[in-house]
Structure 1
Amino acid sequence: MTKRDTTNQVEQAQTAALRLANVDAADRDAALGAIADAIRDNSDAILEANREDVAEAETMLADGEYTQALVDRLKLDDAKLESIAGMVESVAEQDDPLGETLEARELDAGLELYKLSVPIGVVATIFESRPDALVQIAALALKSGNAVILKGGSEARESNRVLYETILEATADLPDGWATLIEAHEEVDRLLELDDMVDLVMPRGSSEFVSYIQNNTQIPVLGHTEGLCHVYVDDAADLEMAEDIALDAKVQYPAVCNAVETLLVHENVADAFLPAVVERYREEGVELRGDETTREYVEVDPVTDDDWSTEYGDLELSITVVEDLYAAVSHINTYGSKHTESIVTEDADHAETFMTGVDAASVFHNASTRFADGFRYGLGAEVGISTGKIHARGPVGLEGLTTYKYYLEGDGQLVATYAGEDAVPFTHESFDGEWTPGHRTRQD
């Protein structure tokens, strides 16, 4: 595809974004319902395409080019498709994020300022092997009135194509170009040049990949990087609870970004806790590594310095014994990816110290890191989990795909009235009110 073709696609997305922003909420929700139904109706074709991708991926796995975690993320089945369809319906059930009056302020009598939520515009996403990510992102973009440009990984090419075609057929009444699928690396390079046309790019992948995107575009970047997550077992922990949480955080689904990669254990409970939890990990086939102190209590492989900063995405785990809560916080802030961290403790003060001291988008108390998810948070779905701090943080749902604009309702007021020696003072009084076109809502 030529540069001109990519530019034409983005221009079409720009036009579609302006039109989609004015599509009624009920029509956007109906379109989401149509997508969910179409996924169910087209399940045979989707699964057949997915089998092609998985077969190719397994060949690459045998050759040592892919990991088992990547293959696991790639696979779809009937239950997964039903989950995807249900996710789309849950997005439709969310409140409309557009047109909400965030603030209302009287500048002077008859001069009223409103701050309203609006779509970002054209959003580009570059994501990994999970084909369900394409549907999540498209559904959230539609609900929030954004045009979306989708670039999935080559390992999921066939699955993404059929899912994309299914979505387009189900939304034929929406503005042309509201969703666009691109596949070639050359198209991504051209896309990154179009900073005057694309409003936001959201890459999902390694820190190196996100850094590459940031260094090669002037488009604002909202990055979803690695999930190097930790569970810290405090000396005031319920150890039975801690075992369950530590196990769930690793083995429930190890291939995802909110799975735990390092377990930290307070030295006062290491003797009582480590043998039991290690036995349970081994029963689940987890490959374990530990520091020198950990290996005084259990027989595990030695850990390396690289392990502390590795996202395994598989049944592998590093363990360290720490002298106190502050050492745990220090370790996490040194090696973590600012994704999700958890403390297991019955001491409220310890929990507060940990939760305020750890620098991460999500920090949990007595809960598995696997809860860090847009659907589980009640957001319907997520376009990714942002580990940065600007615009959106943590699971990015509908709110993260909106911005705002100011509407000013006046009645012929002039700036000159508020300048000079005889200037009229502003009132600057906030009030409860919803913007209605052409009508002031302040009640005296």
Structure 2
Amino acid sequence: MTAAQIASLPLMTIAQQTRQAARKLAVLSTEGKNKAIEAIAQALELATNEILAANAADCQAAATAGIPKPLYNRLKLDEAKLKAAIAGVRDVGKLPDPVGAVQIHRQLDDGLILKRLTCSLGVLGVIFEARPDAAIQISALAIKSGNGVILKGGQEAVRSCEAIVRTIHQGLAKTAVDPAVVQLLTTREETLALLQLDQYVDLIIPRGSNSFVRFVQDNTRIPVLGHAEGICHLYVDKAADIATAVEIAVDAKTHYPAACNAIETLLVHLSIAPAFLPPVARALQERNVELRGDEQTRAILDIAAATETDWATEYSDLMLSVKIVDSLEAAIAHINSYGSGHTDAIATEDPDAAATFLAQVDAAGVYHNCSTRFADGFRYGFGAEVGISTQKMPPRGPVGLEGLVTYKYQITGSGHIAATYTGENAKSFNHKDLD
């Protein structure tokens, strides 16, 4: 079935076909999945011009509509970005197969053997905004983990996503993997309908604003892997090396300000603020960062005043709020009050201060003397990610292959019955772990 034929089907039928295709994919060999992933990479390379043309049309329409700059930056897909995404696909192919790993191998009694094996989840529903390259990453991860996936991209990226998924289908058509394992929805109405498909979809992954994630959670019975806002912090401790801290702050804010792992608030210890704030402000303002500060910060820097709203805002742009704190404990308290549980960092040469920060800050990623921009599945060696989870229960942080599998228990016996192990003459288990 062609991509156009699939797209014309009712959503329920699409979901049914995705589940059927996913069941076959779940038992496909590692070699078969890797061949499919390489076929996708090759198809994307051949279709580079087509994909970039579709993206250019999306970008032109978005610019005309006046979408926010951060959203536009996520939408834009140039040749370098596409090449990086294709490289990520191949990296996923090189990773160990997460399916079929034996986590527990135990003899319960003679001839009664227990195994806990990893297995695919089934079908993923992934809803994301203006990031067409996310469709590439997610599809590769879904296939390697043996899952089907129903993608719902933002309206502003519809042409790009259609070109990408059409290309993925062309690549899969040459392999043992049914192209129906990757589906694309294109209308807003389908988003709400997707959330009702608990009979066919096993996990929803929303990537968007906090309000959107909460909307998804409130409108589905399907488990939700939530990644909402990325309100990330850098705390510059009194024992920080100033030059190092300036470099980290500049990278964490300006390397890619639209990313969810860019810092939105800079916290500075009172004792180092007079020496640190002027050079970091110059470096940031040279890169067109708009600074907003609390009263103590504005006594040192001539910048706009920050409001209570700023501490809880994800700018996703060249804006940064700055606050002076009088202790490490105050910095940690601020982060745990206003942060989103994404990624927070400390700059310090004091190992005890670093250890306290890393232990007490409640976030999926806590860093010492490095940029928050390392919070990324590719940089972690996951090949790619379906998103970053800020929830407490696992998976947490960048979610790669290991977050897209579950496990099942298998027991093999030879006529064993539970009654043997109960009653007056009950036999005992030996619970011997096996290699």
Q: Map Cα deviations across residues 57-113 of structure 1 (whole Å, 9 max, x no partner).
A: 11122xxxx211111111111111111110100110111111000111111011010
Runs of 4+ in 1 over 6 A off after TM superposition: 1-4
CA contact (8 A) 1:3 1:187 kept: no
Shift of 1:176: 4.4
Which of 260, 272, 276 is equivalent to 1:273?
276
- 1:69 aligns to 2:63 (yes or no): no
CA contact (8 A) 1:126 1:150 kept: yes
CA contact (8 A) 2:172 2:179 kept: no
Alignment of 1:25-424 (within 5 A): 25-61=30-66, 66-172=67-173, 173=175, 174-424=177-427
Q: Map Cα deviations across residues 145-180 of structure 1 (whole Å, 9 max, x no partner).
A: 000000000000000000000001000131242111
Give the TM-score normalised by the residue count of structure 1.
0.95
Separation (CA, whole Å) in 1 of partners of 2:156 and 2:179 = 27
Q: Map Cα deviations across residues 11-66 of structure 1 (whole Å, 9 max, x no partner).
A: 111111110001111111111111111111111100110010000111122xxxx2
Shift of 1:389: 1.6
Separation (CA, whole Å) in 1 of partners of 2:135 and 2:100 = 26
Shift of 1:422: 1.0
Separation (CA, whole Å) in 2 of partners of 1:190 and 1:71 = 27
Q: Aligned pairs, how many?
A: 428
Q: Map Cα deviations across residues 267-299 of structure 1 (whole Å, 9 max, x no partner).
A: 010000000000111100000000000011111
Separation (CA, whole Å) in 2 of partners of 1:260 and 1:40 = 34
Give the aligned residue type for 1:210.
Answer: V
Give the aligned residue type for 1:407.
Answer: Q
- The answer for the alignment partner of 1:19 in structure 2 is 24
Percent identical residues: 51
Give the aligned residue type for 2:111.
Answer: G
- The answer for the alignment partner of 1:442 in structure 2 is none
Separation (CA, whole Å) in 2 of partners of 1:4 and 1:229 = 42
Give the aligned residue type for 2:151.
Answer: L
Give the TM-score normalised by the residue count of structure 2.
0.97
Separation (CA, whole Å) in 1 of partners of 2:77 and 2:208 = 20
Give the aligned residue type for 1:168.
Answer: H
Shift of 1:3: 12
Give the aligned residue type for 1:111.
Answer: L
Give the aligned residue type for 1:100.
Answer: A
Q: Map Cα deviations across residues 217-265 of structure 1 (whole Å, 9 max, x no partner).
A: 1000001111000000000111110000000000001011000000000
- The answer for the alignment partner of 2:3 in structure 1 is none
Give unpaired runs (5+ residues) of structure 2: 1-5
Separation (CA, whole Å) in 1 of partners of 2:15 and 2:54 = 27
Separation (CA, whole Å) in 1 of partners of 2:166 and 2:178 = 15
CA contact (8 A) 2:169 2:179 kept: no
Separation (CA, whole Å) in 2 of partners of 1:291 and 1:3 = 55
Instruction: Classify 1:176/1:84 alpha carbon distance in 2 versus 1 (closer, same or farther; 3 Å).
Output: closer
Q: Map Cα deviations across residues 307-332 of structure 1 (whole Å, 9 max, x no partner).
A: 00000000000000000000000000
Give the aligned residue type for 2:84.
Answer: S
Give the aligned residue type for 2:16.
Answer: E
CA contact (8 A) 1:12 1:176 kept: no
In terms of mean alpha carbon deviation, does 167-176 or 117-126 score higher? 167-176
- The answer for the alignment partner of 1:436 in structure 2 is none
CA contact (8 A) 1:382 1:396 kept: yes
CA contact (8 A) 2:269 2:327 kept: yes
Separation (CA, whole Å) in 2 of partners of 1:103 and 1:207 = 38
Shift of 1:2: 12
- The answer for the alignment partner of 1:429 in structure 2 is 432
Separation (CA, whole Å) in 2 of partners of 1:416 and 1:298 = 77
CA contact (8 A) 1:355 1:363 kept: yes
Separation (CA, whole Å) in 1 of partners of 2:139 and 2:182 = 7
Instruction: Classify 1:168/1:384 alpha carbon distance in 2 versus 1 (closer, same or farther; 3 Å).
Output: same
Separation (CA, whole Å) in 2 of partners of 1:67 and 1:164 = 26
Separation (CA, whole Å) in 2 of partners of 1:365 and 1:2 = 47
In terms of mean alpha carbon deviation, does 162-171 or 31-40 score higher? 31-40
Separation (CA, whole Å) in 2 of partners of 1:327 and 1:19 = 53
Separation (CA, whole Å) in 2 of partners of 1:354 and 1:223 = 24
Shift of 1:391: 3.0
CA contact (8 A) 1:3 1:190 kept: no
- The answer for the alignment partner of 1:438 in structure 2 is none
Separation (CA, whole Å) in 1 of partners of 2:9 and 2:52 = 34
Separation (CA, whole Å) in 1 of partners of 2:365 and 2:381 = 15
Separation (CA, whole Å) in 1 of partners of 2:340 and 2:232 = 7
CA contact (8 A) 2:150 2:185 kept: yes
Instruction: Classify 1:4/1:160 alpha carbon distance in 2 versus 1 (closer, same or farther; 3 Å).
Output: closer
Shift of 1:427: 1.1
Separation (CA, whole Å) in 2 of partners of 1:338 and 1:126 = 21
